[in-house]
């Protein structure tokens, strides 16, 4: 245990236990400033990054325009590979969006204390990843202006949508999730908007004043906020489970070999959690460095997040294996051909990339040193998402190349249009995220302050003693 003098001198603390006390030494206004300063000060590198990302997005928008002008033929799709990188990336982004709610709602309900500094970043990730995901069903139509035909609206020609189609479930689920997660993000944001409003001027003041909805921090307001967050946390969990289940049913309800599987829904959900948590860890490592939030995002948080990624990874392996072994023993001729393609055929590089990139990080994250060293954590979680992207590509594109009649087997080559549009959403996500982090307090200040009450220093006689309290 540290000496009181030792603490008082603000010597850098190294052990996780002591790190928790870092904030205990700060006053509320110091915390406010520590969160607000990185938002207000943007360096040269930030604008360089914004420009590069904007250029990639602009190029992607041009590619999309090119696709709209000429037709879906400018992508690498053909018969029978009707869905390719667009749907792969759609599944990927929906997957990424899952961790936000997972972290925020589940951990809030479980009262896991380490969630506090990372909830905002996670919720923002959900919202932006969903926005990127929602672009793909539009893009992949080619004639994007026909999209509204999928929306059930009364019209004089009595045309209705087919609620048997998983694409309609997708539409409903994604819109529900987008609205739900945006509201959830915004609810938890209100007290921080009020805090920011009170500390800035110019256009930011006007913006925050509107967004804070006149928050004053009265007892009644806090009570309502906690109640609303409690309700949202419960309500959004079935939505988040249903969204990726429905995405899996886009595939599983068909009789296409390799897709027609009952385990797809939970397998996709667990895969989404695995890739989403990994993406969150990667993003937090990068944002922490970029915005100098070392004080808030500490090794204890990365340690806990790393453990969660590891557990999700193990669950993914279990579900993958449960699906694979049934297909292997089922020995259906087409599925056998697909498995052969993956293990020893032309899909083998992707298959081994998928397996190694998904399994090696699990082994790495067993070690605490990997979980708590930002660079190592970043490397392993980025690897997970390489693996998960490959997995989705193998499911979508790999399966479609084979089907019941061998004469219809095909292959697929991506084109510059598809790659540009995929790059556009990655850059677009990063762009939205870093702009968001400069406008909205990235660390939920009120949650930190609330959590800080738990780990505090109390003077008992001549000693300063760290104490932990149970708070709601």
Partner 1 sequence: MATDANLSVEINRRWLLVVDLDRCTGCQACVVACHAENNVPVVGEKQAAYGRWMHWIIIQRYWEGEYPNVKARFMPVMCQQCTEAPCEPVCPVFATYHNAEGLNAQIYNRCIGTRFCGNACPYKTRTYNWFQPGFPEPLTEQLNPDVTVRTRGIMEKCTFCIQRIRRTEIDSQTEGRLLTDGEIQPACVQTCPTNALVFGDLDDPDSRASQLARSHRSFRLLPQLGTDPGVIYLKGGETNV
- For partner 1, the binding residues (CB under 8 A) are 70-73, 77-83, 137, 140-143, 146-147, 149-150, 159-162, 164-168, 171, 250, 253-256, 400, 403-408, 410
Q: Between 68 and 225, whose beta carbon lies closer to partner 1?
A: 68
Residue 70: CB minimum distance to partner 1, A: 6
Residue carrying the six token digits 């390719």: 84
Residue 104: CB minimum distance to partner 1, A: 31
Residue 411: CB minimum distance to partner 1, A: 8
Residue 137: CB minimum distance to partner 1, A: 8
Specify the length of the chain in residues: 472
Q: Between 170 and 342, whose beta carbon lies closer to partner 1?
A: 170
Q: Between 45 and 329, whose beta carbon lies closer to partner 1?
A: 329
Bin 71: left if φ > 0, else alpha if -120 < ψ < 50, else beta: left
Q: Between 202 and 331, whose beta carbon lies closer to partner 1?
A: 331
Question: Nearest to residue 138, comparing CAs of 191, 67, 188, 73?
Answer: 67
Distances (CA, A) of 262 to 148, 252, 267, 437: 31, 7, 9, 40
Q: Between 166 and 266, whose beta carbon lies closer to partner 1?
A: 166
Q: Between 145 and 203, whose beta carbon lies closer to partner 1?
A: 145
Residue 173: CB minimum distance to partner 1, A: 13
Q: Between 192 and 341, whose beta carbon lies closer to partner 1?
A: 341
Q: Which residues of 392-408 are buried (b: 16+ CB within 10 A; e: fewer)?
A: bbbbbbbbbbbbeeeee
Residue 399: CB minimum distance to partner 1, A: 9
**Structure tokens belonging to residue 254:** 């068909």
Distance CA 189, CA 211 (A): 9
Bin 258: left if φ > 0, else alpha if -120 < ψ < 50, else beta: left
Residues 6+ apart with CB under 8 A from 368: 303
Residue 443 has what DSSP assignment? S
Residue 75: CB minimum distance to partner 1, A: 9
Residue 442 · residue 118 · CB < 8 Å: no
Distance CA 58, CA 55 (A): 5
**The CA-based dihedral angle spanning residues 87, 92, 98, 100, taken in that order and rounded to the nearest 10 degrees:** -130
Distance CA 237, CA 185 (A): 14
Residue carrying the six token digits 């906690």: 226
Q: Between 264 and 433, whose beta carbon lies closer to partner 1?
A: 264
Residue 86: CB minimum distance to partner 1, A: 11
**Structure tokens belonging to residue 271:** 């895969």
């Amino acid at each position: 245990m540290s000496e009181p003098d030792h603490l008082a001198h603000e010597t850098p603390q190294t052990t996780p236990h002591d790190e928790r006390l870092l904030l205990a030494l700060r006053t509320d206004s110091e915390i406010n400033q520590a969160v607000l300063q990185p938002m207000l000060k943007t360096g040269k590198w930030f604008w360089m990054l914004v420009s590069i990302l904007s250029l990639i997005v602009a190029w992607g928008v041009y590619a999309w325009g090119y696709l709209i002008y000429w037709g879906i033929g400018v992508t690498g799709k053909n018969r029978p590979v009707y869905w390719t990188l667009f749907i792969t990336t759609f599944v990927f982004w929906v997957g990424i969006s899952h961790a936000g709610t997972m972290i925020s709602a589940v951990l809030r309900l479980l009262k896991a204390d380490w969630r506090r500094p990372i909830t905002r970043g996670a919720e923002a990730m959900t919202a932006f990843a969903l926005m990127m995901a929602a672009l793909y069903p539009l893009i992949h139509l080619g004639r994007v202006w026909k999209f509204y035909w999928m929306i059930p609206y009364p019209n004089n020609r009595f045309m209705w949508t087919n609620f048997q189609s998983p694409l309609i479930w997708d539409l409903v689920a994604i819109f529900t999730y987008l609205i739900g997660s945006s509201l959830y993000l915004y609810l938890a944001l209100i007290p921080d908007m009020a805090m920011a409003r009170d500390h800035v001027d110019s256009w930011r003041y006007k913006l925050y004043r509107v967004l804070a909805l006149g928050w004053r921090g009265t007892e009644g307001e806090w009570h309502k906020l906690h109640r609303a967050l409690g309700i949202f946390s419960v309500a959004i969990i079935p939505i988040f489970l249903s969204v990726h289940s429905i995405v899996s049913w886009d595939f599983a309800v068909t009789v296409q070999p390799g897709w027609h599987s009952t385990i797809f829904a939970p397998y996709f959900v667990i895969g989404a959690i695995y890739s989403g948590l990994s993406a969150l860890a990667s993003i937090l490592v990068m944002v922490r460095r970029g915005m100098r939030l070392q004080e808030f995002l500490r090794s204890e948080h990365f340690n806990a997040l790393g453990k969660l990624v590891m557990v999700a990874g193990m669950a993914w392996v279990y579900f993958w294996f449960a699906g694979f072994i049934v297909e292997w023993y089922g020995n259906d001729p087409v599925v056998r051909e697909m498995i052969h393609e993956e293990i020893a055929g032309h899909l083998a590089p992707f298959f081994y990339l998928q397996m190694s990139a998904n399994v090696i990080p699990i082994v790495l994250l067993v070690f605490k040193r990997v979980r708590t060293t930002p660079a190592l954590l970043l490397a392993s979680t980025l690897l997970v998402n390489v693996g998960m992207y490959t997995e989705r590509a193998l499911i979508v594109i790999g399966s479609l190349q084979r089907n019941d009649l061998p004469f219809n087997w095909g292959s697929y080559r991506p084109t510059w249009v598809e790659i540009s549009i995929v790059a556009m959403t990655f850059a677009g996500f990063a762009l939205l995220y870093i702009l968001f982090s400069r406008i909205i307090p990235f660390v939920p200040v009120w949650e930190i302050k609330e959590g800080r009450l738990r780990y505090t220093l109390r003077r008992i006689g001549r000693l300063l003693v760290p104490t932990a309290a149970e708070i709601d």
